[in-house]
Amino acid sequence: MIFKRRTKPINLEHIDQIDELAATGKPVFIDFWQNGCQPCRTMDGVVNELADEYQESAHVVKVNIRNVPAAAQRFRVMSTPTFVVYGASAKKQSKKSKRPGGGIGERWRASGLVKKDQLEKALERNGAARAHQ
């Protein structure tokens, strides 16, 4: 097959979807954006590439903060674009600490124009791996 259909990011419609996706055990990469935001448009292609490249091991989600304001409030989004990796920690409980390293929560965050390799490192540090092309 010459042309392969690319995997697209998930467009979030309700805040509960984030927890449903995180419950699968895969990291959830969230792109908070809004219409009329030039940096958001600039990052859109990069986010689409991440969705295609990490399709098997991570959920890539786009959240329009105008359509899902509860998500922007929950993650304290002050500017767009804001990127968050959310999900279960890949860390094991340390021998010195009595607290477990696991749990679901925010694992990484950045705002503005971010280089693709930084986004990839954030995903891979949280358990994602590139799909074999």
Which residues carry out catalysis?
37, 40
Residue with token string 């002050």: 78
Q: Are 13 and 66 in contact (CB under 8 A)?
A: no
C-alpha 115, offset from chain centre? 14
Residue 64: count other Cβ atoms within 10 Å of its Cβ. 19
DSSP 8-state code for residue 94: P
